[in-house]
Amino acid sequence: MRYRLTFAAGLAVGYVLGTRAGREQYEKIKKSARELAQNPAVRNTAESAAQQSRDLAGRAYHSVSGKVGERVPDSVADRMRAVRARSNGRTGTDDWGSGTT
């Protein structure tokens, strides 16, 4: 219940501050966020972090699967095989069609 109240309070404060700032300030913030997201350095860093997390997840899977063996439910094993097959077929582009440099 405490988290719901905190969320509601944050939502109310955000609404009040947002309405006071007005549409122009909102557009400025939106433009800045878009520019940041399209910055090549930010995109490269995000893609690098995503690739490292995929590699780490793969290594963790192999480590855990060796220790767990046949005790993994079939649904989990099927899902992991699908994820592995999808990641092995990567062609140098991400889900949005942009290059991974």
| 96 vs 83: CA distance, rounded Å | 17
94, 63, 96: which is closest to 80 by C-alpha?
Answer: 63
What is the full per-residue pLDDT of the chain (101 aa) written as tens digits?
Answer: 677 888 888 888 887 777 776 777 778 878 988 998 899 998 999 899 999 998 898 888 788 777 776 677 888 878 878 887 877 665 555 555 555 54
- Other Cβ atoms closer than 10 A to 57: 14
How many residues are present in the chain?
Answer: 101
Tokens of 28: 């400025």
